[in-house]
Amino acid sequence: MFIDTHCHLNMIAPKQPLEPLKEHHFSVIEEAIEESRIADVTTIINVGTDLIESEASVLIAQRYQDVFATVGVHPTDCNQLPKSTHDTIVALKKLVSDKEYNKIVAIGEIGLDFYHKPYEEQKQKDYCRAQIELALANDLPVVIHVREAADAMLAVLEEYVSQGLRGVLHCFQQQQYVADQACNWGLLVGLDGPINYPKNAWLREIFAKIPLEHIVLETDAPFLPPQQLRGKPNRPAYIPLIAQELALLKNIDVAVVEKQTTANAIKLFGLEI
């Protein structure tokens, strides 16, 4: 049994960004979940990216036994938000206050992204810190997005390591020293479809060295399909393809990858499955 630890089922649905999830959107989501079950991907963690998508994430989790939710504001979604994090944190707090009923297993995705321009560095850091603090106050892990901001991100994370920070550097595509530091702090890294893109030999080298106990599998669907499915929307059902790549890289049986990465995900997110 596999777990997709990072998926956006709400973006698989044929709706516009920021459009609230409606009843007629669920058939496509249901189809993707059915496909996953057939592929032995029995649990999906659906990740929020802003308040509307976080609410959608909770709605999907409440509806399907195999789905859990995260809530949070993605760094590139900070642009539209007010300078003060207050109202956003209040809204997230409200969702988290009933985290059992809302099936919320993490705060995310949060982080820093200096790739998409324009960006406001201070604002991203303020939102990131406020959401890490929300996670810590509620004994939840964080799902971290980082792009072209590795050193700034490590500096922020370091502030919270001694406070029991837990989390995953999602869709890990960073240098070796970032992986080493994350592992030292007890953080996990997420492995996605791009691992088998021809240009990513450097990343394969890094993942070959990251201990299996620090890796979780994720699709980031509908984005980033594995090489053999490029051009099509990604699906949580493709997790076994990513597991296969990791097994090849580490020269171990795919069953070992399956067992360990599933155990890692259950532990990190405190899943009751």
Binding residues for Zn ion, per CB under 5 A?
A: 220
- Would you say 4 or 220 has its CB closer to Zn ion? 220
35 in Cβ contact with 239 (< 8 Å): no
- Would you say 125 or 170 has its CB closer to Zn ion? 170
Closest CB 162 distance from Zn ion, rounded Å: 28
Q: CA 105, CA 86: separation in Å to the nearest integer?
A: 22
Q: CA 132, CA 166: separation in Å to the nearest integer?
A: 10
Q: CA 111, CA 17: separation in Å to the nearest integer?
A: 20
How many CA atoms does the CB half-sphere of 162 hold within 13 Å?
Answer: 2
Closest CB 140 distance from Zn ion, rounded Å: 17
| Residue closest to Zn ion (Cβ) | 220
Closest CB 217 distance from Zn ion, rounded Å: 14
How many CA atoms does the CB half-sphere of 214 hold within 13 Å?
Answer: 20
Closest CB 145 distance from Zn ion, rounded Å: 7
Bond prior to 222 in cis (omega within 30° of 0) = yes
- Would you say 80 or 162 has its CB closer to Zn ion? 80
- Would you say 229 or 247 has its CB closer to Zn ion? 229
Q: CA 24, CA 15: separation in Å to the nearest integer?
A: 10
Q: From the centroid of its chain, how far is CA 272?
A: 18
- Would you say 143 or 165 has its CB closer to Zn ion? 143
Closest CB 224 distance from Zn ion, rounded Å: 9
Q: CA 21, CA 61: separation in Å to the nearest integer?
A: 13
| Cβ contacts of 3 within 8 Å, gap of 6 or more | 41, 42, 43, 44, 45, 216, 217, 239, 261, 262, 265, 266, 271
- Would you say 53 or 245 has its CB closer to Zn ion? 53
- Would you say 128 or 176 has its CB closer to Zn ion? 128
Which helix (H) or strand (E) element contains residue 28?
Answer: helix 26-38
- Would you say 23 or 48 has its CB closer to Zn ion? 48
Closest CB 218 distance from Zn ion, rounded Å: 8
Closest by Cα among 182, 164, 165 to 128: 165
Q: CA 256, CA 217: separation in Å to the nearest integer?
A: 13
Closest CB 84 distance from Zn ion, rounded Å: 25
Closest CB 86 distance from Zn ion, rounded Å: 25
